[in-house]
């Protein structure tokens, strides 16, 4: 079993559209995981049935029992996150600011603070239109950055892949270089970088690749909208060569991606197109890696 993770550094480069296309092309051989739990979109293209959903808890948050509280203010004093303001004659915990360190509960002389498990969202197991399974998640707004939920989604995808003897786990990662991305990359066998020939595309590709290198994972790159700026596309190719990153394909700038998305389809299901052909070839290339 191989785990392929698709990331981009920069958002909006076409990562999810490309990943969902590969999920369709790979068909029954694949368990798909949407690890962009912060703004998960892949389900919009793959018709999941939300067969099984479970709450996911990660970390804790503090709750003050106002009956026991004597307003001594020690909790607010030690809180490094300024999460315990004094409002309307009482100390309250601002849940969006509380990191769940538990320090306040430990030092409260009245034992008036309790740490409760924090529900950060749900993870979902679905059957999708390719006749196989997908694991995805919905994080609660403002929840602690999603590294642990990402890890959970990946673990469940791996379990299904093992149970059902699937060849691949295909992971849609999140933008950035922080915890969710680190979590998406851990355990991957191959990374697909989706980028675009813009100043930001290249800048973010370089940063995220620094992270990939730390994990020592072999990587390949798809340049989306490659004909938008030839000079920048050349700069990307140069960067790939210097770093021994496979150049998987160039995709042309084509609004058909959006038209397919608007119809709730991946581009490989949306009639015959140049892009469909390129993605089919790309997938075959990836299978051989």
Partner 1 sequence: MKIAIASGKGGTGKTTLSTNLASFLAEKFKVVLSDLDVEEPNSGLFIQSDLIHWEDKYKMIPEWVQSKCDLCGICREVCNFNAITQILDEIMVFPELCHGCYACSELCPMDALPMKKKKMGELRHYVKGNLSFIESKLDIGEEQAVPLIAQTLDYIDKHFSEDIIKIYDSPPGTSCPVIEATKNADFIILVTEPTPFGLHDLKLAVETVRALKNDFAIVINRFGIGDNNVEKYCKSENIPIIAKIPNQRKIAELYSEGKLLYSEIPEVKRELEKILKFLNSVNIGSFQNLTELKGEGTL
Residue 59 is inside which H or E element, if any?
A: strand 52-64
Cβ neighbors of 248 (< 8 A, separation 6 or more) are: 192, 220, 221, 222, 282, 285, 286
> Which one of 24-32, 161-169, 194-202, 244-252 is the stretch in contact with partner 1 (CB under 8 A)?
194-202
> How far from chain centre, in Å, is Cα 103?
30
Distance CA(8)–CA(222), nearest Å, equals 10
Closest separation in Å from C-beta 178 to partner 1? 5
Assess 58 for contact with partner 1 (CB under 8 A): no
Antiparallel, parallel or unpaired: β 133-139 and 113-127: antiparallel
Rounded CA-CA distance 121/118 in Å is 9
Other CB atoms within a 10 A radius of the CB of residue 171 amount to 28
Which range, of 9-17, 24-32, 160-168, 277-285, touches partner 1 by CB under 8 A? 9-17
Closest contact distance (angstroms) between CB of 33 and partner 1 is 18
Contact segment (CB under 8 A) with partner 1 among 23-31, 38-46, 154-162, 271-279 equals 38-46
Taking CB under 8 A as the rule, does residue 261 contact partner 1? yes
Q: Which is nearer to partner 1, 162 or 210 (CB)?
A: 210
- Among residues 35, 175, 193, 267, which is the contact residue for partner 1, using CB under 8 A? 175
Q: Determine, following the binding rule CB under 8 A, whether residue 176 of this chain makes contact with partner 1.
A: yes
d(CA 192, CA 19): 9
Question: Is 179 a binder of partner 1 (CB under 8 A)?
Answer: yes
Distance, CA of 183 to chain centre: 9
87 sits near partner 1 (criterion: CB under 8 A):
no
* Secondary structure element (H or E) that encloses residue 137, with its range: strand 133-139
Question: Which of 3, 34, 125, 144 forms a contact with partner 1 (CB under 8 A)?
Answer: 144
Whole-angstrom distance, CA of residue 45 vs CA of residue 254: 18
Interaction site with partner 1 (CB under 8 A): 9-13, 16, 38-39, 41, 44, 59-60, 78, 80-81, 95-96, 99-103, 106-107, 115, 139-147, 174-179, 182, 196-201, 203-204, 207-208, 210-211, 214, 225, 228-229, 232, 253, 255, 258, 261-262, 264
């Amino acid at each position: 079993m191989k785990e392929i993770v698709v990331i981009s550094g920069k958002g909006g480069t076409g990562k999810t559209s490309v990943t969902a296309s590969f999920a369709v092309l790979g068909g029954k051989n694949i368990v798909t995981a949407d690890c962009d739990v912060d703004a998960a979109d892949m389900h919009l293209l793959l018709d999941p049935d939300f067969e099984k959903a479970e709450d996911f808890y990660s970390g804790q948050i503090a709750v003050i029992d106002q009956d026991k509280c004597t307003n001594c203010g020690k909790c607010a004093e030690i809180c490094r996150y300024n999460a315990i303001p004094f409002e309307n004659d009482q100390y309250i915990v601002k849940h969006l600011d509380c990191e769940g360190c538990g320090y306040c509960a430990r030092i409260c002389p009245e034992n008036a603070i309790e740490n409760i498990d924090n529900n950060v969202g749900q993870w979902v197991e679905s059957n999708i239109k390719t006749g196989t399974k997908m694991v995805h998640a919905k994080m609660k707004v403002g929840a602690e950055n999603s590294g642990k939920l990402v890890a959970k989604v990946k673990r469940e995808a791996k379990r299904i892949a093992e149970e059902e003897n699937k060849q691949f786990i295909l992971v849609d990662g999140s933008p950035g270089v922080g915890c969710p991305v680190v979590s998406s990359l851990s355990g991957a066998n191959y990374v697909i970088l989706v980028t675009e020939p813009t100043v930001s595309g290249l800048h973010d590709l370089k940063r995220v690749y620094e992270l990939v290198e730390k994990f020592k994972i072999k990587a390949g790159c798809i340049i989306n909208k490659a004909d938008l700026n030839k000079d920048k596309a050349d700069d990307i190719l140069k960067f790939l060569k210097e770093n021994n990153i496979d150049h998987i394909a160039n995709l042309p700038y084509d609004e058909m991606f959006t038209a397919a998305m608007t119809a709730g389809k991946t581009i490989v299901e949306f009639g015959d197109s140049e892009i469909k052909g390129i993605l089919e070839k790309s997938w075959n290339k990836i299978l051989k890696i």
